[in-house]
Amino acid sequence: MTSPSVRAGALTQQQAAVAVTAPAFVPACPGAGKTHVITSRHLQSPRRLLRQGRALISFTRVARDQMARRCRQAGRADLVQAPHFIGTLDSFLWEFLVKPRRAAEPVPRLLESWASIKAPVEGVDREISLHRFPMTLDPSPIPAREAVAWDKLDYDTRQLIEASACSQQTWQEKIFATRKAWCEQGYFTGHEARVLALWNLRNPEAATALLGPLRSRFAEVVVDEAQDCSAADLAILQLLHDAGVPLVLVGDPDQAIYAWRGAEPQALHAFAARLSPTAHPLTGNWRSSPVICRLAATLRTGQRPPDTSVVRDDDDIPVLLLPIQFATSGSRHLHAPTGTGIVDAFRTLAEEYTVPAENCLVTAYKYATLPGITREKPNTNTITSLAWARTVAHTPDASGDDLTRACTIAVRVLFGYWYPGETGGPDRIMATHRLSAGQVNRTAFAFLHSLPPPHREWAPQVWQAMKAWPALPGAAPQGSKGRPAGKPTISRPQAATGLRTNTVHQLKGDQADGVLLLLPDAGSVQRWATADPATDEVLRIWYVAVTRARRLAAVALPEQETDALARLLTERQVPVRVA
């Protein structure tokens, strides 16, 4: 049982963070109860109507919904309504720093990504969708500098670009021209919202028009998961701080795993120091056992002592090290001692410690490493996305989020065929033809469910099904426009073990009783032992992975490196078992 003093100390830290006056920085370890602290702070707001409210901002809709749900469960539905605001950073920037300066027509719309609409880059020697080109944004110059992140292209897109007769410069010009055309029609993504927010805050006339209402409405702005802030995000927050908007940042710099868009621990530390000279740390971990806390401490900066396990100090399951013969395909990773598949081996070991398979997850840095991947990979081509969507439609226990995404993909494909001459996203086409969301989604799901199982020559069958499917009102197909082409990358069904699988980047905010981290690359132990997490993002990714675990953390690595990691962790007082 946890000692009363340990629990009291963790509660005292939380209470101090709840009461701290803005501006402030609250560094919070994994499992520290950040959402509890933020919503508790919000719940202290008086019930009477206020002229000023509070903005609670996170980076995901899951976190947004969780904060709103807790307010409603506490009987404070008023706290999710104006003058308060609970939402993502994208939606905050859009609603308060971008949309007020946009023309009413065409109606400005914030997209989750360019994948939400059919936006091909044209005028070059091949057609590639706009969403497959990630952008970078350097906020230092004025105006901020944008560029295509050529080194972040997915494999398929990189192959298409390398086979193109057009130069990268030509492609970049066409990419920006395509993006500009869609913006002129009122469509923007979070990236464009940041570009415009920076411009508006740096423009005296626009800043005056925006900041007055913002300061009047919000007594403070709380930013959750602040370590995920990009360089552009921090630049925007700095401008808000300089303009007198009270900020409270809550986050863990050790979990900064989005370096490709400028999220770095040093940048957050520097901004936090400017925000407030005194931090208000949360070091009580309400999620993980002491063993996992000690394991996590070996993967973070500063050689700080392990965080304090608040609720699981009697759970002493050692860290499991699994010697593995890794293959290039995730489904063929074999547990060296038994010759069984990696997932089956982990399941058996977890059951020894009464950790059920349904409370376990398997994770890795890359999709290609994972066994039985079931999620849609980002930036895939249309036929591969549709194959994933069809698989979801035939999965009895598919999540609501996956079903929504699957229907969105099917709608985009069907609308591209039925309404080839119409610009804009599905929402605009639906409004034009007076189609209800329920009608469209039922049609999309029925279409997906009717498709045969994906295979390498699947596209012609999909095309025949599209032509035969009863069209919605207003459809006007034009020959072969909208025809999906290519060969889908087939996702294997999830292994029948019941374990969840996903990449580390997709697990932020998630947790499980047991977590298996796959480290297939040679040299991982050397990296663990000598690299600096302050500058090596891979170590921070591993840190995020192991801290998702409540009771059992396991690491799978090449069998020739297992003993070296066992020695390293033992030297650092982490109990291990090679199994």
DSSP 3-state of 330: helix
Nearest-angstrom CA–CA distance, 82 and 77: 11
Among 279, 262, 197, CA closest to 228: 262
Angle, vertex CA 469, rays to CA 466 and CA 474, nearest 5: 95
DSSP-assigned letter for residue 186? T
* Beta bridge mates, 54: 220
Q: Are 399 and 105 in contact (CB under 8 A)?
A: no
Q: Is 30 annotated as a binding residue?
A: yes
Q: Is 34 annotated as a binding residue?
A: yes
Q: Is 71 annotated as a binding residue?
A: no
Q: Burial, 542: exposed, middle or buried (Cβ in 10 Å; 0-12, 13-18, 19+)?
A: buried
DSSP 3-state of 60: coil
Instruction: State the maximum Cα–Cα separation within the chain, in Å, rounded to a whole number.
Output: 74
Q: Are 228 and 263 in contact (CB under 8 A)?
A: yes
Could you please report the per-residue DSSP string of 358-406? GGEEEEESSGGG-TT--SPPTT--HHHHHHHHHHHHT-TT--HHHHHHH
Work out the number of other CB atoms within 10 angstroms of the CB of residue 511.
Answer: 16
Please name the residues in contact with 482: beta carbons below 8 A apart, sequence gap of 6 or more. Answer: 413, 416, 417, 418, 420, 466
Of how many residues is the chain composed? Answer: 579
H and E: helices and strands count for the chain:
20, 20
Among 454, 51, 20, CA closest to 280: 20
Nearest-angstrom CA–CA distance, 247 and 6: 30
Nearest-angstrom CA–CA distance, 148 and 36: 38
Backbone φ, ψ for residue 556 (5° rounding): -105, 130
Q: Are 391 and 493 in contact (CB under 8 A)?
A: yes
Nearest-angstrom CA–CA distance, 81 and 195: 28
Q: Is 183 annotated as a binding residue?
A: no
Q: Burial, 76: exposed, middle or buried (Cβ in 10 Å; 0-12, 13-18, 19+)?
A: middle
Cis, peptide link before residue 106, omega less than 30° from 0: yes
Structure token pair of residue 410:
């099917």
Say if strands 576-578 and 319-325 run parallel, antiparallel, or are unpaired: parallel
Q: Is 33 annotated as a binding residue?
A: yes
Please name the residues in contact with 201: beta carbons below 8 A apart, sequence gap of 6 or more. Answer: 97, 207, 210, 211, 236, 239, 240, 243
Q: Is 262 annotated as a binding residue?
A: no
Structure token pair of residue 286:
């309400």
Angle, vertex CA 327, rays to CA 325 and CA 332, nearest 5: 90
Q: Is 482 annotated as a binding residue?
A: no
Nearest-angstrom CA–CA distance, 427 and 321: 50
Say if strands 120-121 and 128-129 run parallel, antiparallel, or are unpaired: antiparallel
Q: Is 29 annotated as a binding residue?
A: yes
Positions at the binding site for ATP: 28-35
Positions at the binding site: 28-35
